[in-house]
């Protein structure tokens, strides 16, 4: 299966379990892997034969910068469902949502969840 990657998308959102997170907001990074057949695009060199990654970015931005949710898992599920609904060419998504600065004590780079979802 062919794959398209849109990595390192950076957003500011208001997601989290704690009231301060939903009030003050924080950074979120998202990586997306889209599995689909890219042969038509490769042979035709036409944008309409593939998924426009600018539109992928816009769809993810709308979700991450939109309505707050408590869990990264919910955010990842919402992103995956939206991309599968909007782009019928996609067979499977892998979504990684990264929270660089969660409000927990300790020394670490980030926390993240990653899910893979496909069409039923």
Domain ranges of the chain: 2-118
pLDDT in tens, 63-78: 999 999 999 999 999 9
pLDDT in tens, 81-101: 999 999 999 999 999 999 999
Specify the pLDDT at position 51: 98
Residue 2: both structure tokens together: 């062919």
Domain 2-118 indexed as CATH 3.30.1130.10: yes
Q: Tell me the C-alpha distance between 46 and 25, whole Å.
A: 39
Specify the pLDDT at position 103: 87
Residue 120, pLDDT > 90, answer no
Phi, psi of 45 (to 5 degrees): 60, 30
Q: Tell me the C-alpha distance between 96 and 32, whole Å.
A: 6
Specify the pLDDT at position 52: 97
Question: Which residues are tagged catalytic?
Answer: 99
First to last CA, the chain: 17
Q: Which long-range contacts (CB under 8 A, 24 or more apart) does 19-25 make?
A: 20/103, 21/103, 22/68
Specify the pLDDT at position 28: 98
């Amino acid at each position: 299966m062919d794959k398209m990657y849109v990595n390192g998308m950076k957003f500011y959102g208001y997601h989290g379990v704690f009231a301060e997170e939903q009030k003050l907001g924080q950074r979120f990074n998202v990586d997306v892997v889209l599995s689909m057949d890219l042969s038509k695009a490769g042979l035709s060199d036409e944008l309409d034969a593939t998924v426009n990654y600018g539109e992928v970015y816009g769809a993810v931005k709308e979700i991450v910068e939109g309505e707050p949710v408590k869990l990264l898992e919910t955010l990842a599920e919402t992103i995956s469902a939206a991309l599968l609904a909007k782009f019928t060419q996609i067979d499977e998504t892998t979504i990684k949502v990264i929270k660089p600065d969660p409000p927990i004590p300790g020394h670490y780079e980030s926390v993240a969840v990653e899910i893979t979802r496909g069409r039923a």
